[in-house]
Amino acid sequence: MWIVGISFVSIALYSIYDIGVNPLTLYFERDDIGNLLGRMWPPTIEEFGPIWNSVLDTFFMAFVGTTIAVIVAVPLGFLAASNIVKFAPLRWVARGIIVFTRAIPDLVFALIFVRVYSIGVLPGVLAIGLHAVGMLGKLFADSIEQIQRAPREGVVATGASRSQELAAGVLPQIIPSFIAAALYRLDINFRSATLLGLVGAGGIGLQIRAYQGALRYPELLGVTLLIIVLIVVVEVVSTNVRSTILGHNRTSVSFLQKLKGGPSAADFRVDTGPRHVDITTASLTPPWTKERVTMYSFGLVSIVMLYLSFSLTDMSVLDLLTGLPEIPQVLWKLVPRSMDWWQSMFFDDLVETVLMGFAASFLALVVAIPTGFLAARNVAPARWIYATARVFILGVRALPDLVVAVIFVAALGLGPKPGVLALAIGLYGFATKLFADSIEEVSNGPRDGVLATGSTRLQESFSGVLPQVMPSIVSNSLYLLDVSIRSSTVLGIVGGGGIGFALLQGAKLLKWEMLGGLLIIIFLIVYSIELLAGWVRKRII
């Protein structure tokens, strides 16, 4: 265990040394960054009409992409769940598709599809849809595997057929978590949809690329700020809708009863006298409860959105339907037939990519662990510190890492250094949120125990809280490393170093086998890190 820990840290330290970044790099490079910010000031938004149109494009790309992903991922999730499909090889095929689509970043899919379907919204939608199938399929399969067995058994015992059992015993248990997962994914997809334009796949990213190319920095900053605001709005809306659909008030204890000190025995006398209703006149249709209204309006809004997707943007249903079946063919072209595509410089690029991943996640962690404590409601020294920290994180998290990379590349020049810095900032927001959320879940008993010995607040945080959150800090850190290496593969597309530049060249020159070969190697690296992380996680928890 210690060997693994020490080697992780030493690889991270070596990467930081090799790439030449450290937490103070931002300070040392303040002249360059300040210079750039000076040229960016004041942020402006020109040509509001076209920009508004690309904002709409961006959102509906995310929406249609998510819809496609849900349609594909639902059957896939069922096929991958061990309590639904007993035939193991079928499950492995489903799991394989899930792992593959999840491992390839949507930006890479977009890179490929832009070459096949030409520049526009369509390749973006397909890229988002295909990549999201992976995460949604995994979440769906997991939530199907976690359902209670008893209600299903109850339905089977009535003599229901297989399809009836799935509809009556399984579906009601999973629908809320399915909707929540889809909404969460819509949120993530909107973030990535803002970036896909960088490789020509439509949306607001096209504008960013144009401004970057034309060195129109005030407009670049203006659009960036607009994106941040939109991402925050989408996240807040999606979080609220999710908690309305997931949350339900199970207790029937009224406020008055709570005042009186909880329910008394008399409140539960409902069992004693059977109450009869008049069968012939009683209503046989469900009343419009809050839950039912929420579900119906959710369905209605989704349908309206889908209609708007095709009427407000230049996407057409026909293009989509003819484009979808071509995907397997496109992916088949990527399979390398020989090793002719290999160039020795790829090895250095790949090593650099992994080192960038380590460096960025390490930098993010070093800052995120202490700030995680400040952003946790139950540990933060004061209410206002907690509130400030949370708002700060929300803002940082809304910064798309690739846009930050574009800006840093503009300020510091090409290479891994701006890439790592941008990635570290993106990961920092994400990591702080993960840590703060897990700190908020610690139990109070041990903390009271430590306080009762007369310790100070800081001592209590170290002895009462830290031991409780250590397992989740370690496992979240491993998860971050995983995410970090995935993301570092695409930084090169905007000049941020690593293998991304080779991927971009491969797509531009239509070297499909080279692109496919590199993707397989990336997949193997990411997958082995994931396996290693899974193994470490199991040993700790």
Partner 1 sequence: MEATLNSRLVVEVKSVTKTFDNRRVTALNDVSFSVPEGQLAVIIGLSGSGKSTLLRHLNGMHQPDAGNVRVLGTEVVGLSGGALRELRRNVGFVFQSFNIVGRMTCLENVLTGALGRLRGPRYGVLSYPKSLRREALEQLDRVGLGDRAFQRTDTLSGGQQQRVAIARTLMQKPKVVLADEPVASLDPEISGQVMDVLFRSCVEDSITVLCSLHQVDLALGWANRLIGLRDGEVVLDSPVDTGIDESTVMEVYRRLDPTGQKTEEYRPSMAS
Residues that bind partner 1 (CB under 8 A): 150-151, 153-161, 163-164, 166-169, 171-173, 175-176, 248, 250, 252, 268, 270-277, 279, 282, 284-287, 289, 291
Q: Contact at 8 Å (CB) between 109 and 131?
A: yes
Distances (CA, A) of 128 to 63, 102, 261: 9, 11, 52
CA distance 360 to 422: 8
CA distance 480 to 448: 31
Considering the complex, what minimum distance in angstroms separates the CB of residue 297 from partner 1? 16
Residues 6+ apart with CB under 8 A from 533: 475, 478, 479, 481, 482
- In the chain, the amino acid numbered 407 is I
Considering the complex, what minimum distance in angstroms separates the CB of residue 164 from partner 1? 5
Residue placing its CB nearer to partner 1 in the complex, 276 or 538: 276
Considering the complex, what minimum distance in angstroms separates the CB of residue 160 from partner 1? 4
Residue placing its CB nearer to partner 1 in the complex, 154 or 415: 154
Q: Which tokens belong to 509?
A: 């020159």
Residue placing its CB nearer to partner 1 in the complex, 52 or 268: 268
Residue placing its CB nearer to partner 1 in the complex, 32 or 291: 291
Considering the complex, what minimum distance in angstroms separates the CB of residue 135 from partner 1? 24
- In the chain, the amino acid numbered 88 is A
| Owner of token pair 């639904």 | 84
Residues 6+ apart with CB under 8 A from 477: 361, 365, 431
Residue placing its CB nearer to partner 1 in the complex, 83 or 343: 83
Residue placing its CB nearer to partner 1 in the complex, 168 or 324: 168
Residue placing its CB nearer to partner 1 in the complex, 277 or 382: 277
Considering the complex, what minimum distance in angstroms separates the CB of residue 386 from partner 1? 34
Residue placing its CB nearer to partner 1 in the complex, 30 or 258: 258
Give φ, ψ of 43 to 5 degrees: -60, 135
- In the chain, the amino acid numbered 257 is Q
Residue placing its CB nearer to partner 1 in the complex, 31 or 271: 271
Q: Contact at 8 Å (CB) between 513 and 521?
A: no
Residues 6+ apart with CB under 8 A from 113: 122, 123, 124, 126, 127, 201, 330
> 48-80 and 88-103 helices cross at what angle (nearest 10)?
160
Give φ, ψ of 336 to 5 degrees: -70, 135
Size (the chain), residues: 541
Considering the complex, what minimum distance in angstroms separates the CB of residue 145 from partner 1? 17
Considering the complex, what minimum distance in angstroms separates the CB of residue 246 from partner 1? 11
Q: Contact at 8 Å (CB) between 101 and 134?
A: yes
Considering the complex, what minimum distance in angstroms separates the CB of residue 180 from partner 1? 14
Q: Contact at 8 Å (CB) between 195 and 172?
A: no
Task: Return the SS3 of 340.
Answer: coil
Considering the complex, what minimum distance in angstroms separates the CB of residue 273 from partner 1? 8
Distances (CA, A) of 415 to 112, 215, 345, 403, 497: 23, 19, 15, 15, 5
Residue placing its CB nearer to partner 1 in the complex, 302 or 468: 302
Considering the complex, what minimum distance in angstroms separates the CB of residue 147 from partner 1? 10
